[in-house]
Structure 1
Amino acid sequence: MLDPGAVAAIEKWMKRLGWEAGGRLISVERAGNGNMNMTVRVRTADWSFILKQARPWVVKYPQIPAPLERAGVEAAFYAAVGGVAEVSRRMPRLRGFDAESHLLWLEDMGEGGDLTHLFQTGEFTAEECAELIRYLVTLHRVKVTAGEAAVFQNRAMRALNHEHQYEFPLRAENGLDLERITPGLAQEAGRLQRDEKYCERVAELGRLYLADGAVLVHGDYFPGSWLRREGGLAVIDPEFCFLGMAEYDLGVFLAHLELMGAGRHGARVREAYGA
Structure 2
Amino acid sequence: MYLDVTTSIAEIGICLNNIGFIDPKHEQILSVEKPGEGNMNVVLRIRTNKRSFVVKQSRPFVQKYPQIMAPIGRIYVEYQFYQAVSNKAIEPHIPEILRYNTDNHLLILEDLGDCKDMSYLYDERNIGTSQLHQLLDIASQIHKSKPEEYPENMELRLLNHQHIFVLPFLKESDFSLNAIQEGLQELALRYRSDETLKKEISKVGQQYLSQGNTLLHGDYYPGSWMSKGDHIYVIDPEFSFMGFAEFDIGVLAAHSILITMNIDGLQTIKSG
Compute the TM-score of the two structures, normalised by the length of structure 1.
0.92
Q: Measure how far apart 1:231 and its partner are.
A: 6.1
Matched, 1:111 2:92: no
Matched, 1:194 2:193: yes
Equivalence map 1:137-148=2 (5 Å): 137-145=140-148, 148=149
Aligned mates of 1:119, 1:154 — CA distance in 2: 29
- Does the aligned pair in 2 maintain the 1:49–1:108 contact within 8 Å? yes
Percent of aligned pairs sharing the same letter: 36
Aligned mates of 1:175, 1:77 — CA distance in 2: 34
- Does the aligned pair in 2 maintain the 1:257–1:265 contact within 8 Å? yes
| Correspondent of 1:62 among 54, 66, 79 | 66
Matched, 1:265 2:265: yes
Q: Measure how far apart 1:74 and its partner are.
A: 0.5
| Correspondent of 1:23 among 18, 21, 27 | 27
Aligned mates of 2:216, 2:12 — CA distance in 1: 33
Q: Which amino acid aligns with 1:104?
A: L
Q: Identify unmatched segments of 5+ residues in structure 1.
A: none
Aligned mates of 1:31, 1:142 — CA distance in 2: 29
Q: Measure how far apart 1:193 and its partner are.
A: 1.4
**Which deviates more, 10-19 or 38-47?**
38-47
Q: Structure 1 residues 128 and 14, CA, compared in 2 at 3 Å: closer, same or farther?
A: same
- Does the aligned pair in 1 maintain the 2:127–2:256 contact within 8 Å? no
Aligned to 1:161: 160
Shift >4 Å, 4+ stretches: none
Q: Measure how far apart 1:3 and its partner are.
A: 2.1
Give the secondary-structure state (helix, strand or coil) at the position aligned to 1:189.
Answer: helix
Aligned mates of 1:54, 1:166 — CA distance in 2: 25
Aligned to 1:120: 123
Q: Which amino acid aligns with 1:100?
A: D
Q: Which amino acid aligns with 2:4?
A: D
- Does the aligned pair in 2 maintain the 1:32–1:113 contact within 8 Å? no
Q: Output one character per residue of 1:97-156: Cα deviation in whole Å (capped at 9) or x when no partner.
A: 1111111001111232211111111343222222111101111111121xx23x1x2111
- Does the aligned pair in 1 maintain the 2:129–2:268 contact within 8 Å? no
Matched, 1:2 2:3: yes
Aligned to 1:135: 138
Give the secondary-structure state (helix, strand or coil) at the position aligned to 1:58.
Answer: coil
| Correspondent of 1:73 among 68, 73, 77 | 77
Q: Measure how far apart 1:7 and its partner are.
A: 1.4
Q: Which amino acid aligns with 1:29?
A: E
Q: RMSD value over aligned CA atoms?
A: 1.5
Equivalence map 1:94-109=2 (5 Å): 94-109=97-112
Equivalence map 1:41-56=2 (5 Å): 41-56=45-60
Q: Measure how far apart 1:214 and its partner are.
A: 0.2
Q: Identify unmatched segments of 5+ residues in structure 2.
A: none
Q: Which amino acid aligns with 1:242?
A: F
Q: Output one character per residue of 1:194-224: Cα deviation in whole Å (capped at 9) or x when no partner.
A: 1111111111111010010000010000000
Q: Measure how far apart 1:177 and its partner are.
A: 2.0
- Does the aligned pair in 2 maintain the 1:211–1:244 contact within 8 Å? yes
Give the secondary-structure state (helix, strand or coil) at the position aligned to 2:29.
Answer: coil
Aligned mates of 2:256, 2:181 — CA distance in 1: 18
Aligned to 1:85: 88
Q: Measure how far apart 1:239 and its partner are.
A: 0.5
Aligned to 1:11: 13
- Does the aligned pair in 2 maintain the 1:75–1:104 contact within 8 Å? yes
**Which deviates more, 88-97 or 213-222?**
88-97
